[in-house]
Structure 1
Amino acid sequence: MTRRRFDLTDFEWAIIQPLLPNKVRGVPRVDDRRVINGILWRFRTGSPWADVPERYGPYTTCYNRFVRWRKAGV
């Protein structure tokens, strides 16, 4: 995978990954790392959620996980 400017490094991911809740759901999940990179992209660019590039997963997934993780204190 090519690392983009907004993407987490392996070192950063190793720190963040254990902090995320791992709740199993019925639908296959978009990879948490991709979603976090999408969340970071959104805040670094100041773009609306709907403009999050598809490579990070659906923008609704990025938004919903951001809200869920924020409520969980992540």
Structure 2
Amino acid sequence: MPERYGPWAMPHTRFRRRVTNETFERMLRAARAKADVAGDIYWPVSADSTVVRAHQHAAGARKGGPMPASDAPGAA
């Protein structure tokens, strides 16, 4: 980090303060509103399920690999 910013804790403190008081969110909302008025934003969005995949842990997979056949639901 350049010396002109002082010790690392100073910019970090400023960054955290701006995160907690939502300065960045307000800046983003203002930029989006300005771009929307100018017609610079194209809003339609589409997500195809063949492209969007969840990680195995998000799908409820067990830790440590597949379940043994003897523990599988419905196994006698």
Q: Same fold per TM (> 0.5)?
A: no
Q: Which has the higher helix share?
A: 1
TM-score (norm 2): 0.28
TM-score (norm 1): 0.28
Structure showing greater Rg = 2
